[in-house]
Amino acid sequence: MDATAYLRALRERVEAHFSAAAEREGANMACRAGCSQCCHAKFGVFEVEAQPIRVALAELEQTDPGKRQRIAKQARDQTLPHCALLVDNQCAVYAQRPLICRSQGLPLVVERAGKAQVDHCPLNFASEPPHRHSLMVLDNLNKPLAVLAQLDNSGGERVALADLAR
């Protein structure tokens, strides 16, 4: 299996987890089309995720050059409060969005100072805590992604999404 196939398998795993959590949690998760709360952040990605985004942006240049120019302008704006790839509250590269974006909205188990904590969007789980089966251990996503990043000979450096968008 090559890196692209591994990435696809990881994406499918996260999306299956997200779908199951959304069904289980119902109204306890506020995630919906048009909400871009989790895009008010600036992420970086490994080359294995950067390349499909470059391809998507090159395709956009052909199909919607106006939108592509808008993204490039956003990427140059240091004061932009959200991801440069967010246009009219929609991700311009949705099909190729990074794994970190696919996991947003889930209750994520992260380790801080040796203690496991649950992080989630403030719009979610406002009325009751998430079911334990909805939790996703972030390391279970980050560790295989870091291995993939080592395999593609890019040195494991992260590329800012804003740099891809310029």
Q: Which residues bind ligand SF4 (CB under 6 A)?
A: 39, 43, 83, 85-86, 91, 93, 97-98, 101, 161
Contact 162, 84 (CB under 8 A): yes
CB of 45 to ligand SF4, least distance (A): 9
Cβ burial 16-26 (10 Å sphere, 16+ → b, else e): ebbeebbeebe
For residue 137, the cross-strand partners are 109
When the beta carbons of 69 and 116 are compared against ligand SF4, the nearer one is: 69
Task: Locate 38 and state its tokens.
Answer: 């989790």
When the beta carbons of 28 and 96 are compared against ligand SF4, the nearer one is: 96
Task: Locate 157 and state its tokens.
Answer: 């450096």
CB of 160 to ligand SF4, least distance (A): 11
When the beta carbons of 38 and 135 are compared against ligand SF4, the nearer one is: 38
